[in-house]
C-alpha cells in the first residue's frame, strides 16, 4: 500500500489518500503487439437477428478485403453475405488465427466454449443488450477492428469451468454451471464437497457455480459477489436457500467441487445447465464434478478498455434517481 501526498480541500484542509495495488491475474495490458499477426479472420454471427447483421458483416468483409486478409465466415455469416457454404466452428478453430464475433454476449459465450481448446483470440462486436464481453459498437467497427489488426489491443485470459456427471463426457461453461430444480415447485436437497472436504447440505432451488466472467450474469441476480476478470476464483451462489445463513462463498479456482443429490430429492427433478445452453441430467448415486478447464479463453479489447468503466455503464453506478 502506498500513500499519496495529502490533497487540499476548499478552505485549506487536507485529507489523506491511499492507493492499493493488486495483481491483475489473467489480464495482459501489453499494447504493442506485432502488427499483421492476424491473417485468417473468422467471422461468427448471431443466429437470430438477420436485419441487424447484414450491415456490420458487410463492413467487416470490406475492411478485411481492403487489407488483403482472408475472411472465413461461419455458416450464418456466409448465408447473409451470399458467400456460399460457410464453415463450422470446429473448422474455423483449425483454420483461423482470430475470430470476430458479431452478436451479443451469448454468441460470444457459445463461440468461446467451442473454440477454447484451439486457443483462438476472440473479438466481440455488440448487437445485443448488455454487452459485458462484446464491447465494440457497430459504428466503431472500422476504427477498433483496424487497430486490433495493427496490433493495438488489450487481452484478457479468462478461465472456463468443466462440468462432468459420473463418467460422461464433460461440458464447458464460460459463465456458470448451475444445479437447479426441474419441473417442480419445491426445493431440492444436495451435498457439496470442495477438494474432498464436506462443506454443507443445502435445501434450496439450486446452486450457481460461477467464474469471474459469470459473476455479472445469473450469479449477480442471486446476490453473488462481483469478481474482477483476472481473479482465479470461483463463486458458489445459492438460489433461494431455505436457510438464509447459506451465503455465497468464494473459493480458489484450482479447487474441485463435487455435488450429489440427497435426502428425499428425486434426481429426475434436478438438472444441470452450462451457460444456460447445455442441459445435463444426474442419475441415482452420480456426482457432479466441476473443475477449472485446462485452457483459457483469450478475449481482445480496444486499447483503453476498463472493467470498472463497463460496470459503471452497465449497472448504472452513480446515476441519480429519475423523477
C-alpha span between 77 and 19 (Å, rounded): 47
CA distance 118 to 94: 7
105 carries an active-site annotation: yes
Of 141, 137, 134, 127, nearest to 46 by C-alpha is 127
Given 48, 62, 90, 105, which residue is catalytic?
105
Q: Is 153 left (phi over 0), alpha (psi -120 to 50) or beta?
A: beta
| Residue whose entry in the numeric block shows the C-alpha cell 430429492 | 265
CA dist., res. 300 & res. 119, Å (int): 12
Residue 163 CA to residue 290 CA, distance in Å, equals 5
CB atoms inside a 10 Å sphere around CB 129: 9
Q: Which residues are catalytic?
A: 105
Amino acid at each position: 500500500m502506498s500513500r499519496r501526498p495529502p490533497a487540499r480541500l476548499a478552505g485549506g484542509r487536507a485529507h489523506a489518500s491511499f492507493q492499493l495495488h493488486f495483481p491483475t491475474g489473467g489480464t495482459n495490458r501489453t499494447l504493442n503487439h506485432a502488427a499483421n499477426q492476424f491473417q485468417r479472420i473468422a467471422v461468427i454471427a448471431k443466429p437470430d437477428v438477420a436485419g441487424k447483421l447484414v450491415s456490420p458483416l458487410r463492413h467487416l468483409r470490406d475492411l478485411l478485403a481492403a487489407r488483403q486478409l482472408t475472411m472465413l465466415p461461419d455458416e450464418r455469416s456466409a448465408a447473409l453475405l451470399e458467400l456460399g457454404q460457410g464453415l463450422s466452428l470446429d473448422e474455423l478453430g483449425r483454420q483461423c488465427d482470430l475470430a470476430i464475433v458479431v452478436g451479443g454476449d451469448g454468441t460470444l459465450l457459445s463461440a468461446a466454449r467451442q473454440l477454447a481448446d484451439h486457443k483462438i483470440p476472440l473479438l466481440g462486436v455488440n448487437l445485443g443488450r448488455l454487452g459485458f464481453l462484446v464491447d465494440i459498437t457497430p459504428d466503431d467497427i472500422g476504427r477498433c477492428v483496424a487497430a486490433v489488426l495493427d496490433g493495438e489491443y488489450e487481452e484478457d485470459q479468462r478461465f472456463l469451468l468443466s462440468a462432468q456427471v459420473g463418467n460422461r463426457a464433460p461440458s464447458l461453461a464460460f459463465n456458470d454451471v448451475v444445479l437447479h430444480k426441474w419441473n417442480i415447485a419445491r426445493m431440492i436437497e444436495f451435498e457439496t464437497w470442495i477438494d474432498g472436504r464436506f462443506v454443507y447440505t443445502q435445501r434450496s432451488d439450486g446452486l450457481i457455480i460461477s467464474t469471474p466472467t459469470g459473476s455479472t450474469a445469473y450469479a449477480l441476480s442471486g446476490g453473488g459477489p462481483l469478481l474482477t476478470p483476472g481473479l482465479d476464483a470461483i463463486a458458489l451462489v445459492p438460489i433461494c436457500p431455505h436457510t438464509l445463513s447459506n451465503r455465497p462463498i468464494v473459493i480458489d479456482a484450482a479447487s474441485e467441487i463435487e455435488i450429489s443429490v440427497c435426502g428425499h430429492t428425486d434426481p429426475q427433478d434436478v438438472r444441470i445447465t452450462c451457460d444456460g445452453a447445455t442441459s445435463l441430467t444426474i442419475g441415482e448415486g452420480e456426482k457432479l464434478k466441476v473443475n477449472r478447464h485446462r485452457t483459457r479463453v483469450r478475449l481482445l479489447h480496444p486499447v483503453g478498455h476498463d472493467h470498472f468503466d463497463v460496470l459503471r455503464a452497465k449497472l448504472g453506478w452513480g446515476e441519480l434517481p429519475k423523477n
